[in-house]
Amino acid sequence: AGSVTPQPASSQDEGPTTIQAGQVNGVYGQTLEADGQVEMKRPGQTIVADWLRYQQVTEDLYAKGHIRLLQHGDDVRGDELKLNLNSRIGNITQTEYTLANGSARGRADVLEFAGRDRYRLKNATYTSCVNPEAGWYLIASDLSLDYTRNLGEAESARLVFQGVPLAYLPWIDFSLNGERKSGWLTPSIGSSNKGGAELSTPYYWNIAPNRDATFTPRLMVKRGLQLKGEFRYLEPSYAGEVTAEWLSDRKSDRNRSGLKWLHQQRFGAWNSGVRIERVSDDTYFEDLGDKLAVSSTVNLPREAWISRSENGLSFSARFLKYQTLQPNPNSLVDTPYAKLPQLTLNWLKPNLGGGNLDLDLQSEFTAFRHPTKVDGTRLVTYPSVSWLLSSQSAYFKPKVGVHVTHYNINAGNNRTGLTSSTRTLPILSVDSGLFFDRETTLGGQNYTQTLEPRLYYVNIPYRDQSKLPNFDSGLADFSFSQLFSENRYTGSDRINEANQITAAVTSRLIDDDTGVERLRGSIGQRYYLRKTQRVALDGSTTPRNERSSDILASLEGQLGKNWHLSSSWQFNTSSPRSQKASLDLQYSPAPGKVLNFGYRMDRTPAADKDRLKQFDISGQWPIAPGWYGVARWNYSIKDKKPLEVLAGVEYNAGCWQLRMVAQRYVTSGGNKSTNVFLLLQMSDVASFGSNPSDTLKRGVKGYAEPERLESANPTEVKP
């Protein structure tokens, strides 16, 4: 063909247009009129009509009668169509449309094509349900769908659910692909016995890609209007979020506020950060918090820190103070010491002199402050040298160190009258282990089974520490991690004397194809070569004479394809009985089908109310096509009372979900808090009620939200 002059407004879809009809009249290269079941096909577009006229040069199309327009993902029927095939600008009247591959459908008096992937509709209905009558649809006088920004906007809209008008919304905008965008988020309705019925209508403001804010007015029947604001920011060198809440509480007629500020910043090689949480009164979370995890928070940190670490040398400075809430006057919480400041300097020099000799220096200076207990400063330096001899089948690691602690103790609240003291303790430990393997097959799968015996010796002389203050020491849980550490106490104020050997053996089943550890069992015990132990947390020096520690055993991993087990057991040999036990069994053959059985028992805490003996049974199971039941029963056998009961039914109809969940959990002083979650979700257009997802994910391990599971009518297009 001859040279083709560049086409001024060439349509992207090059290629021929074919028209089939009963009759065609036209002027070559100019216009064309087709009549009688006309079918016009061009790359990316198909137009069917009774009659159409097409201007070839300007690519304007005018069609009438039983029109059907198919173009990349859109299937639109109507009476009369005006459309420029190149710019895709035009409109169609009395239309029935399905857009974006079925994710949006409905009817409209006029559907205007406002360019590629942008539509404006007059007197339109909009839904994502294949069968709107059984699901929901939006009627709006003016509806705009912009798939380039994934934003839908409707004016004077009515939301109709199963034929029942649910809400009249003068203006609503919604996301077309689930991503958050500025504007009113869907209101949430809930109720709790602390605040009564409540309605919150969050407004999300997407200020910039790296900054956004959410304002949530929360109207509580019993307490009044709480204003909550959250602002998040993310810059190259710093990021953070600020949350502030304010309420003038009718029920206890005082102003109640909460503040939370998290901030992290980097200056060159320095890292720094601030974490401030503050509330106005002790029962703030009890009354206003709506989640169990929140209402059980008692210590609120106020912390600022700065740190730097460079090839082995790491320094940090930290100011830390806690606001301690006392929600229950007759069971007071002990306020933790404030660290004003805490300076740490650690230095790790591995492979000293080319060999595998490690030099490790841990040092810390802390000034402790407490409202009622003795204040003072503590300087700890703990240099140690360890030498690792290892191959793939064995390792031997002796370690020698000196733990030096110097106290300066103020006079106030000082019951021992000790003003300064220094404690120097040499610490020797030897860690050693062997690795055995063998091939085995179990249930048709080949495994490598390992057998890993381990011996750990610690020797620390006795120093009387009964007069020393206890700023931050506590008894660590008796666990495999604690079995192989030098000191049974955490913190630096109490170093137990030791001349003990810990022996343990671990066996693992390793999958031969992928190397994944399928199952692991361990058992271990510690033997005290020195009969008496005298270092205790409080001032007592009455010796305890134990020959050996409790026996610790654990078994954890996959049992077959659908079962998972996690169990641990601590057996007290002197008064032969179980000291602590935990069993978690999960059966989950498929998403949406999970059953958990849990049992926990712990006799270790001194105070009876801190001891545990409870069941934790939970699960999610399909009960009918599209219907899923979810429940949790956390029952305390000791107190013969449930700690948390949760029950719910959730329905996924494909384009909408209904979720009904009730929850009742214990709060301080034996009171109970009940929450009811009722949520009607219509894909991304609207959702009414409060969302139980967080509560369910925390309460039921393996829970999956209904919209991600099999829907009632699988033909429904997933929005």
Partner 1 sequence: CGFHLRGAQPVELPFKQVFLAKSGVFQLDLDAQRTLSERGGVEVLAQSSSDAPVLDSLQESRNRNLRSVNIDGKVKEYELQYTFSFRLRSAAGETLLQNQISLVRRMSYSDDALLAKEQEENRLYLDMRQDALQQMLRRLAHAPVGSTPAAH
Partner 2 sequence: ETADRDKPINIQADTVTLDMNKGTRQFIGNVLIVQGTLRVQAERIDVTTNDVGDMKAVGVGRPVQFRQKQDNVDEYVEGYGDRMEYDSAKNQLQLLGNARVKRGLDEVKGASIFYDSVTQQYSVKGGASTTTSPEGGGRVTVTITPKPRPAAPAATPAPAPAPQ
Site string for partner 1, 482-521 (x = CB under 8 A): ---x---xxx------------------x--xxxxx----
| DSSP-derived secondary structure for 499-550 | EEEEEEEEEEEEETTT--EEEEEEEEEEEESS-EE---SSS----EE-SB--
Q: Which amino acid is at 81?
A: L
Binds 11: which of partner 2, partner 1, none (CB < 5-8 Å by kind): partner 2
Q: According to the binding rule CB under 8 A, does residue 670 interact with partner 2?
A: no
Q: Which positions from 206 through 265 interact with partner 1, judged by CB under 8 A?
A: none
User: Which residue, 18 or 422, has its beta carbon nearer to partner 2?
Assistant: 18
Q: According to the binding rule CB under 8 A, does residue 473 interact with partner 1?
A: yes
List the one residue out of 386, 379, 387 whose CA is nearest residue 363.
379
User: Which residue, 130 or 317, has its beta carbon nearer to partner 1?
Assistant: 317
User: Which residue, 141 or 309, has its beta carbon nearer to partner 1?
Assistant: 309
DSSP helix/strand/coil, 667: coil
Shortest separation between residue 622's beta carbon and partner 2, angstroms = 52
Binds 616: which of partner 1, partner 2, none (CB < 5-8 Å by kind): partner 1
List the one residue out of 652, 635, 655 whose CA is nearest residue 591.
652
Q: According to the binding rule CB under 8 A, does residue 371 interact with partner 1?
A: no
Residue 372, judged by CB atoms within 10 A of its CB (0-12, 13-18, 19+), counts as exposed
Tally the C-alpha atoms within 13 A of residue 590's C-alpha that lie toward its C-beta: 6
Shortest separation between residue 616's beta carbon and partner 1, angstroms = 8
Shortest separation between residue 124's beta carbon and partner 1, angstroms = 45
Shortest separation between residue 271's beta carbon and partner 1, angstroms = 11
Q: Which residues pair with 502 in a beta bridge?
A: 456, 526
Site string for partner 2, 42-81 (x = CB under 8 A): --------------xx------------------------
Binding part of the chain for partner 1, among 124-132, 208-216, 227-235, 330-338 by CB under 8 A, reads 330-338
User: Which residue, 393 or 419, has its beta carbon nearer to partner 1?
Assistant: 393
Shortest separation between residue 58's beta carbon and partner 2, angstroms = 10
The footprint of partner 1 on this chain (CB under 8 A) covers a number of residues equal to 86
Instruction: State the Cα torsion 636-638-641-647 to the nearest 10°.
Output: 10
Whole-angstrom distance, CA of residue 435 vs CA of residue 466: 42
Whole-angstrom distance, CA of residue 462 vs CA of residue 535: 8
Q: 481: which DSSP letter?
A: H
Shortest separation between residue 373's beta carbon and partner 1, angstroms = 12
Residue 431 in tokens: 């860690």
Shortest separation between residue 229's beta carbon and partner 1, angstroms = 26
Shortest separation between residue 49's beta carbon and partner 2, angstroms = 14
Tally the C-alpha atoms within 13 A of residue 469's C-alpha that lie toward its C-beta: 29
User: Which residue, 226 or 482, has its beta carbon nearer to partner 1?
Assistant: 482
Shortest separation between residue 713's beta carbon and partner 2, angstroms = 39
Whole-angstrom distance, CA of residue 468 vs CA of residue 425: 14
Binds 609: which of partner 2, partner 1, none (CB < 5-8 Å by kind): partner 1
User: Which residue, 85 or 601, has its beta carbon nearer to partner 2?
Assistant: 85
Q: According to the binding rule CB under 8 A, does residue 561 interact with partner 1?
A: no
Cα 187–193–196 angle (5° rounding)? 45
Whole-angstrom distance, CA of residue 119 vs CA of residue 95: 13
Q: What distances in angstroms separate CA 392 from CA 156, 357, 522, 530, 621, one per listed residue?
A: 73, 18, 20, 33, 46
DSSP helix/strand/coil, 285: helix
For strand 551-559 and strand 517-528, is the pairing parallel, antiparallel, or unpaired?
A: antiparallel
Alpha carbon 102 to its chain centroid, in Å, reads 32
Binding part of the chain for partner 1, among 38-46, 174-182, 249-257, 479-487 by CB under 8 A, reads 479-487
Length of the chain: 719
Binds 29: which of partner 2, partner 1, none (CB < 5-8 Å by kind): partner 2
Q: According to the binding rule CB under 8 A, does residue 435 interact with partner 1?
A: yes
Whole-angstrom distance, CA of residue 468 vs CA of residue 465: 5
DSSP helix/strand/coil, 148: coil
Radius of gyration (Cα) for the chain, nearest Å? Answer: 35
Shortest separation between residue 517's beta carbon and partner 1, angstroms = 5
Binds 240: which of partner 2, partner 1, none (CB < 5-8 Å by kind): none
Which residues, in sequence order, are CB contacts of 488 under 8 Å at separation 6+?
Answer: 475, 476, 478, 482, 496
Shortest separation between residue 16's beta carbon and partner 2, angstroms = 5
Binds 17: which of partner 2, partner 1, none (CB < 5-8 Å by kind): partner 2
Residue 163, judged by CB atoms within 10 A of its CB (0-12, 13-18, 19+), counts as exposed
Shortest separation between residue 342's beta carbon and partner 1, angstroms = 10
Whole-angstrom distance, CA of residue 470 vs CA of residue 472: 6
User: Which residue, 18 or 330, has its beta carbon nearer to partner 2?
Assistant: 18
Q: Which positions from 10 through 39 interact with partner 2, judged by CB under 8 A?
A: 10-11, 14-30, 32, 34, 36
Shortest separation between residue 24's beta carbon and partner 2, angstroms = 5
Binds 36: which of partner 2, partner 1, none (CB < 5-8 Å by kind): partner 2
The owner of tokens 């309705």 is: 189
The footprint of partner 2 on this chain (CB under 8 A) covers a number of residues equal to 30
- Direct distance between the N- and C-terminal alpha carbons of the chain, in angstroms, rounded to an integer: 48
Q: Which positions from 567 through 606 interact with partner 1, judged by CB under 8 A?
A: 568, 582, 600, 602, 604-605
Q: Which positions from 650 through 669 interact with partner 1, judged by CB under 8 A?
A: 665-669
Residue ranges that bind partner 2, judged by CB under 8 A: 1-2, 4-5, 7-8, 10-11, 14-30, 32, 34, 36, 56-57
